Structure formats: C-alpha cells, structure tokens
C-alpha cells in the first residue's frame, strides 16, 4: 500500500471532516472499552497474567535465536517447511514460488496483518493469482479496494449501507431485489459466497498469533472460523509470520492467550484457537498436503537491543487504539500505513523509517491510556518520546518548532529570566483575555487557536501560586 504517513496532518484533517467516519468511530468508543473492562474485572488474576505474559516475551526475545532454531527443528520434524525472509520482497517471492510449484490459480486468505505489511494481494494479482480475503471485514475492504483501518476490526470505518452497496455491485449474479438491510443478511450472503471459494482454492494463507518452539505449531485465534477453513481445505497451507511471534512452550502460549482475547474483544477466549503442526498425517482424512511457514524479519531484528525492543512483545490485540483519543478522533487510515494507533505510532517509524513515519509519534496526547491497557505492558508513550528525540536529533522537525524549542531551552536554563518573563507576561495576557477570558487568536499560536480557543491565564504565574500555597501550608503547620 502506498505510504501516506508523511501526510498525516492532512489525513487527520480529512478524517475529522468525514461525517460518516466519525459516526463509525463511535462504534470503537462504545463497544470495545466496556467489553474489555467487564472481562478484565471478572478475572482477578488479570494483572498477574499481564506480568507473566510480559516476562515470557522478554525471555523469548532475549533468546530469540535459540527459540527460532528449536521451532524450525520441530516444524521440520513434523513434515513442514520453514522459509526465511529478510524483507517484504523476499517473503512475496517465496509465496509466489510456492503458488507456482502447486499451479495455484486462487488462494484464500485468513486475516493477516503481515500480508498487509508485505502488500501480498497486489503482488499476487499482478502475477495472475487471485487472492480472496475470507475474514468478513477483510472481504468487505477487499471489495472496496481499501486497507484495514484497525488491526482486529479491519472494516470498522465502514457502515452497513456501504457494505450493502458493495455487495450489490460485486455479487451481481444474485437477485437485485433481495433484502440486504441487516448485518445478518449481509453476513449470510458473504458466508455462502466464500464457502465455495474455500473448496476452489489451491493454497490457503494464514498469519499466526503465536509460533510455539516446543512443538513447531502455529496458532491462529479467530471468531469466524474462516482461518480454519482457509488452512483446512486447500492442498497447501502457508503460514506467514514475523519472527517475534515465537513463544517457548504451549504453556507460555496459554498464558498470553488469556490476556489476548480479553484485551481484544472482551471475550474470555476467542471462538477458535487453532494449533497447526505440519501437513496431513498418514491416515488423516482431511487437511493440507503441504505446510509451509515463512518467517519474516523486515526490520524486526534491528529493533532488538534498542530502546524499541519492548515493542516486539506486541500481540496485536488492538486495545491501545481502542482506548486512544487520537485514534477515536481520526480512525486508522490517517496513520497512513498498515499499523494505526499507539502501537503503529511506535512500530511504523521502526519499519518504514522516521523520515516517513515521524508524524505518528507526535500524534499523542500522552494521556497514557494505551500503556495502562496494553496486556503486554509495553511503555508506548515512552517509546513515542524516544522517536520524538530521534526526530529532533536528526533535524527532521520544522524550523519554527526547533526555533521555539531553542528559545524555551534558553529560558528553562535561566530561572531568573524565566521568572521575569512570566511575571511580566502572564498578567498582561490575563488582562488581554477580556471578559470571556479566552483567546480565539494569538500571534504565533495559530496552530492551536485555529481549532480551539486558548484560555487566558490567571493573573499570577504557576510559580507564584506554588509559593503562596507553600506559605499557607507552612502557616497551617505552625
């Protein structure tokens, strides 16, 4: 997909003006937060499990090479194939080779953010192979020629009238007067159409939520069952996963599963948690004849050993964006690449470069809700700050911002000058604020006042008030 992260500000402005999108975003604010909270409240061990999950991933990352080796050995022992891909282009080529080897004409796909990251669909289409998304949300946005706007609810920006229009346009062999007004009828139609596709497909591609070193298993976690049909019915199952998906053992996966579903959808457990290990066995009446895993790096190993290592604990639950006021306001597309919200603000600059993704870590109010709800306890705000520092070090922010920060730094290092300036400036501003005590315009503050008023300050500075407060306290004590 074309990266539009550098145009984040314009994207955000369009999103704010898009009434339909704003209505759809209400579903994020309304649904996810309450459901998660209920599920969390019902499990007294939730916080202990978060610690456990964090420790498991930390241990795994510190021994990533060894666990990858152990995992590879087990996949091979179960009759599967492991392929290593350093870049997106490598991964695409490996998928195509597998498709060509099996003379594939159509592939069905389970939901996978990695295939978005490597832009697999466009590539396969260009090579004459038809990719079919089977997750309902992914199917809808594939019909619309769009990309996911949320990592677990890809079509959260679309309303049901739009889905109806898309189905009528694409499923034009069906009766034009059929009723498609409710989500139920829309789902039924998609179910019928996709059912046939699973049987026709030659290759099924899924992602993985976990790769288990102990057994060589890949795990997918879904609610619809499309991922299962995708990997069960075609002759070949291809798993595309990035290297940090590894966990050591089945028990470790179990620990993290408990926090994953609760954080994502507020379920205790998703409907289908499926562990797949190698191809069909002797005597098995169903299942794929070939099982391939493509392990993608694409920049992750370079995050190890840096201040961004902890981001590799992410299990893509979506809780950080579900609780983010910025995401609530602008949705996922404005972020301009595959990963939106707070996790995207940290991950995107690491994967596509700070020069392209630099706006994203700035799109934060530092309210800290993302870190508070992250099941893996990833310090997202801290890492956004690291990116801001890097952006500053590399001189990537605009000149006015750098100039302003320079002035601020000069005052901050000279308390007498700061005192003098504020004790002169604040009363003046206070007086100029007028009866409403607000500014709708101020020189040099256009970036703020264009969208909201600036409250006029009180007539004393913060430091003056603090001193008075101290004096009162002293008086009360003596």
Partner 1 sequence: MSPRDAIMTNIRGALAAGGSDEARRKAVEARLSRPPKGVIPARGQLDDEARVELFCEMARRVTASVVRVRSHDRVPKAVSEYLRAKNLPSSIRIGDDRRLKSMPWDKFGSLEVRRGPSDGFDETGVSHALAGIAETGTVALASGKDNPTTINFLPEHHIVVVDAKDISGDLESVMGRVRKKFGKGEMPRTLNLITGPSRSGDIEQKIILGAHGPRAVHVIVVG
**Which residues contribute to the site for ligand SF4 (CB under 6 A)?**
263, 314-320, 343, 374-376, 378, 380
Residues 233 and 205: beta-carbon distance below 8 Å: no
Two tokens at 63?
């021994």
Alpha carbon of residue 288 to chain centroid: 30
Distance CA 66, CA 197 (A): 39
User: What residues contact 129, with CB distance under 8 A and at least 6 apart?
Assistant: 96, 99, 104, 105, 106, 107
Two tokens at 38?
């209920």
What does residue 130 show for φ and ψ, rounded to 5 degrees?
-95, 115
Question: From residue 186 to residue 205, what is the string marking binding to partner 1 with x (rule CB under 8 A)?
Answer: xxx--x--xx---x------
Interface with partner 1 includes 38 (CB under 8 A)?
no
Bridge partners (DSSP) of residue 239 are 206, 293
Name which of 159 and 440 has its Cβ closer to partner 1. 159
For 136, the 3-state DSSP assignment is: helix
Question: From residue 205 to residue 224, what is the string marking binding to partner 1 with x (rule CB under 8 A)?
Answer: --------xxxxx-----xx
Distance CA 323, CA 315 (A): 16
Name which of 236 and 241 has its Cβ closer to ligand SF4. 241
Name which of 184 and 393 has its Cβ closer to partner 1. 184
Q: Binds 322, which of ligand SF4, partner 1, none (CB < 5 to 8 A, cut-off by type)? A: none
Name which of 186 and 374 has its Cβ closer to ligand SF4. 374
Residues 171 and 189: beta-carbon distance below 8 Å: yes
Query: Interaction with partner 1 in 161-180: which residues (CB under 8 A)?
Result: 163
Query: Interaction with partner 1 in 327-346: which residues (CB under 8 A)?
Result: none
Distance CA 311, CA 288 (A): 34
Residues 140 and 155: beta-carbon distance below 8 Å: yes
Query: Interaction with partner 1 in 251-290: which residues (CB under 8 A)?
Result: 251-252, 254-255, 257-258, 265, 267-281, 283-287
Query: Interaction with partner 1 in 87-116: which residues (CB under 8 A)?
Result: 90
Any idea what the Cα angle at residue 95 is, between residues 223 and 109, rounded to 5°?
Answer: 20
Two tokens at 260?
């994953």
Check residue 444 and give left, alpha or beta (phi > 0: left; psi -120 to 50: alpha): left
Q: Binds 374, which of partner 1, ligand SF4, none (CB < 5 to 8 A, cut-off by type)? A: ligand SF4
Q: Binds 133, which of partner 1, ligand SF4, none (CB < 5 to 8 A, cut-off by type)? A: none
Name which of 40 and 229 has its Cβ closer to ligand SF4. 40
Give the single-character DSSP code of 8.
Answer: H
Q: Binds 30, which of partner 1, ligand SF4, none (CB < 5 to 8 A, cut-off by type)? A: partner 1
Name which of 151 and 426 has its Cβ closer to partner 1. 151
For the bound state, the minimum distance from the C-beta of residue 361 to partner 1, rounded and expressed in Å, comes to 22
Name which of 3 and 304 has its Cβ closer to partner 1. 304
Q: Binds 318, which of ligand SF4, partner 1, none (CB < 5 to 8 A, cut-off by type)? A: ligand SF4
For the bound state, the minimum distance from the C-beta of residue 124 to partner 1, rounded and expressed in Å, comes to 21
């Amino acid at each position: 997909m074309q990266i539009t992260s550098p145009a984040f500000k314009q994207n955000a402005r369009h999103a704010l003006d898009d009434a339909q999108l704003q209505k759809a975003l209400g579903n994020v604010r309304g649904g996810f937060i309450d459901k998660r909270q209920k599920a969390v409240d019902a499990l007294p061990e939730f916080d202990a499990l978060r610690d456990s999950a964090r420790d498991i991933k930390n241990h795994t990352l510190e021994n990533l090479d060894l666990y990858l080796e152990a995992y590879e050995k087990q996949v091979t022992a179960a009759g599967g194939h492991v392929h290593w891909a350093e870049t997106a282009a490598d991964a695409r080529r490996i998928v195509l080779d597998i498709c060509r080897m099996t003379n594939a004409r159509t592939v069905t796909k389970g939901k996978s953010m990695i295939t978005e990251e490597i832009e697999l669909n466009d590539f396969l289409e260009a090579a004459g192979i038809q990719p079919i998304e089977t997750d309902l949300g992914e199917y809808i946005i594939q019909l619309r020629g769009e990309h996911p706007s949320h990592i677990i609810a890809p079509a959260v920006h679309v309303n049901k009238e739009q889905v109806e229009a898309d189905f009528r346009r694409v499923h034009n062999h069906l009766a034009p007067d059929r009723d498609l007004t409710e989500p139920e009828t829309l789902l039924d139609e998609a179910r019928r159409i996709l059912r046939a596709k699973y049987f026709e497909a030659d290759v099924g591609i899924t992602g993985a939520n976990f790769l288990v070193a102990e057994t060589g298993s890949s795990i997918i976690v879904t609610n619809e069952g499309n991922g299962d049909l995708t990997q069960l019915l075609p002759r070949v199952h291809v798993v595309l996963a990035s290297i940090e998906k590894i966990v050591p053992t089945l028990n470790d996966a179990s620990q993290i599963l408990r926090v994953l579903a609760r954080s994502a959808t507020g379920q205790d457990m998703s409907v289908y948690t499926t562990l797949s290990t190698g191809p069909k066995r002797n005597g098995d009446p169903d299942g794929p004849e070939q099982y391939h895993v493509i392990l993608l790096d694409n920049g992750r190993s370079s995050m190890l050993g840096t201040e961004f290592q902890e981001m590799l604990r992410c299990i893509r639950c979506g809780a950080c964006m579900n609780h983010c006021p910025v995401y609530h306001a602008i949705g996922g597309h404005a972020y301009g690449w595959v990963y939106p919200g707070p996790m995207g603000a940290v991950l995107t600059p690491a994967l596509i470069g700070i020069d392209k993704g630099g706006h994203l870590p700035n799109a934060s109010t530092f309210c800290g809700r993302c870190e508070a709800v992250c099941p893996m306890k990833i310090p997202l705000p801290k890492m956004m700050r690291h990116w801001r520092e890097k952006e500053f070090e590399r001189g990537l922010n605009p000149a006015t911002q750098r100039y302003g920060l320079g002035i601020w730094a000069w005052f901050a290092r000279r308390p007498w000058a700061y005192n003098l300036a504020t004790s002169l400036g604040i009363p003046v501003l206070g007086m100029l604020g007028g009866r409403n005590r607000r500014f709708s315009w101020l020189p040099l503050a256009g970036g703020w006042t264009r969208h909201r008023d600036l409250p006029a300050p009180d007539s004393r500075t913060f430091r003056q008030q603090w001193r008075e407060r101290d004096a009162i306290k002293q008086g009360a004590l003596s």
